[in-house]
A and B are shown apart, each in its own frame.
Chain A
């Protein structure tokens, strides 16, 4: 039996661009799938197909047990969509926005009103409930947008880059909200450009590029493939670069990479902060001055580099085909 979100062989082309080129996935009920990929990889297109906004050229999709292509309106009753643009009416108050969405989900006015008040409370928006959302901060608007997606307590949620453009504090708040949601049993499909975010929130991750799934697995599995953490050092004097490289090779568990012009050396490691301290002590003991040193976690670029041999390309915006 397919999971709460099921996609099979989804293809969608826009002119010459194959935005989706045979995408499959199956998200078991109550779990989170992270769709990870750069701009233009096809993440948004996949979400748009699954939320009935876009007809695929071919393929099948089933959401909450309902065929998306055959019964789109029935699917709409069971899903909540929260996009990257915080789609709320800026001249309406938070309360008016949520009531409107409730009514358009066909709830009775009274029920929509009660539900709006409940959500405003839970998302810490009660104080701002009767102000036009134009006056809200970016983080507040995102929370309202998410609240709007939750009006009917949908069993299946889609979130398209929920934290893009948010500052770190608001990103953290958003993550907590999403984690609570999932703890409540909601099935979630989440797109993101950040490995860290997928790591925090998703049970399973699909890496997609040029409309194809190029890797899938848990975040640990993907990281193992990518080589985990690395130490990055910027040496003060170019003359000491070779010597420093030798030191780092001793600590690393793979090949070092040296950029001559930036005097930067990178080496994959295993051992985290403790190891970093040892590296610093060793370099210091040899009198090698450093401008910068840090422990870097694998980024989306690193994942891409190891999976495809090329860096994540940022495609032209129209290729994202929203």
Chain B
């Protein structure tokens, strides 16, 4: 087996330009890698779809009859109220996937390989989170179709609906960086999966997603109203024209679209910075 090539005093690796172009290219190479992986593990995509669909069905039929939204006990009102919450919860639950994937790469020594290559430092994480974003988009589309089937409708036109989906995807993308940081900080993919999920329960339940915040005790209500997650849910309800828009005087509830954008960008910047810093010194 002859492996001898050219003069080994030369490297085939071109001198890289560095900078933004290299970051973008490297990130796309990694995103492609993760997308190929997804197509080879279709059960991951399928499970990712089943969960939110199950939530829609369970919540609408189990809670639908007994939940009051804005004084109305009509099950259809709760159905429309619920969907913004389910959408938001779905995009944030995708976070755990990013964490588990990165922890798995660490364990298998892939992160070491990437870190020894002359590639952009943020690209491994950016590529992973971009691939997750693609998967989230797919999930959101399927979920919207299921929601339409069970009776959810939008009342403010397509552009606003697309705006709402934009906010949802931005929230999901921002949260996936929290997942990335968790993935880099734990020792096993299993820990990343459970560690990536548990904090999401309080974040998504202490909110306006599934219940009207006006019925909560005051201190809980304040948390719920300032929860970044609630801002996106509120913004989606407004943009979808769905019932249950909070009349609270809290700033994020009054300016939900802005609050949602600001929160998501803030989370994105903070956790991207922390995660990339962690990656630079990552040790398996």
Residue ranges of A at the interface with B (Cβ–Cβ < 8 Å): 29-30, 48, 51-55, 73-74, 76-79, 81, 83-92, 96, 100-101, 103-108, 111, 115, 122-124, 132, 148, 150-155, 173, 176-177, 180-181, 183-187, 321-322
Cross-chain contact B108 with A100 (CB below 8 angstroms)? no
| Residue B265 lies at the interface, judged by CB distance under 8 Å to chain A | no
Taking A52-B115, A184-B3 as known contacts, 6 extra A-B pairs with beta carbons closer than 8 A to each other, sorted by chain A number, are A30-B8, A74-B118, A77-B118, A103-B26, A106-B118, A155-B9
Looking at the assembled complex, report how far the CB atom of B241 sits from the nearest CB atom of chain A, in whole angstroms.
42
| Other-chain contact of B113, A30, A148, A181, A322 (Cβ < 8 Å) | A148
Measured between beta carbons, the chain B residues less than 8 angstroms from A187 are 8
B-side interface residues toward A, CB under 8 Å? 1-16, 18, 22, 25-26, 29-30, 32-33, 36-37, 40-41, 108-110, 112-119, 123, 281, 283-284
Contact status A105-B36, CB under 8 Å: no
Contact present for B10 and A73 (CB under 8 Å): no
**Interface pair B1/A176, CB less than 8 Å apart:** yes
Chain B residue nearest in CB terms to A105: B13
B1 touches A177 (CB 8 A): yes
- Of all chain B residues, the one with the shortest Cβ separation from A118 is B5
| Interchain CB contact (< 8 A) of B118 among A88, A105, A173 | A105
Structural contact, A83 and B112, CB atoms closer than 8 A: yes
Chain A residues whose C-beta falls within 8 Å of the C-beta of B3 in the assembled complex: 122-123, 150, 177, 180-181, 184
Distance between Cα atoms of A321 and B283 in the complex (Å): 8
Q: Which of B6, B8, B26, B109 contacts A104 (CB 8 A)?
A: B26
Given the known interface contacts A73-B118, A100-B33, the answer about A81 and B113 at a Cβ–Cβ threshold of 8 Å is: yes
Chain A residues in 8 Å Cβ range of B283:
48, 53-54, 321-322
Q: Assess whether B11 is in contact with A77, with CB atoms less than 8 Å apart.
A: yes
For A74, A103, A108, A185, the residue with the greatest tally of chain B CB atoms inside 10 Å of its CB is A103
Nearest 7 A/B pairs, CB to CB: A184-B4, A87-B109, A85-B109, A76-B118, A152-B12, A77-B13, A152-B13
CA distance A151 to B118 in the complex (A): 13
Residues of chain A contacted by B117 (CB below 8 angstroms): 76, 101, 104-105
Contact A185 B8 (CB under 8 A): yes
CA distance A122 to B25 in the complex (A): 29
Distance A15 CA – B6 CA, assembled complex (angstroms) = 44
Interface pair A186/B8, CB less than 8 Å apart: yes
Q: Is the CB of A104 within 8 A of B119?
A: yes
In angstroms, Cα B11 to Cα A105, docked, is 10
- Alpha-carbon separation in the docked complex, A101 to B112 (Å): 12
| Known contacts A92-B37, A124-B1, A53 near B12 by CB under 8 Å | no
Chain A residues with Cβ under 8 A from B281's Cβ?
55
CB distance from B130 to the nearest CB of A (A): 15
Are the CB atoms of B13 and A81 closer together than 8 Å?
no
Closest to B120 in A: A104
Give the distance in Å from the alpha carbon of A55 to the alpha carbon of B12 in the complex. Answer: 26
Least Cβ–Cβ distance between A154 and chain B, in angstroms: 6
Q: Are A155 and B116 in contact (CB under 8 A)?
A: no
Rounded to whole angstroms, the CA-CA distance of A21 and B116 in the bound complex is 23
Residue in A29, A107, A184, A185 whose beta carbon sits within 8 Å of that of B13 in the complex: A107
Residues on the B chain within 8 Å of A322, using CB? 283-284
**A122, closest chain B residue (CB):** B3
Complex CA distance for A115 and B14, rounded to whole angstroms: 14
Q: Once the chains bind, are B113 and A155 in contact (CB under 8 Å)?
A: no
Flag if A106 contacts B13 (CB, 8 Å): yes
Q: Out of B2, B30, B108, B115, name the residue touching A90 (CB < 8 Å).
A: B108
How many Å from the CB of B1 to the closest CB on chain A?
6
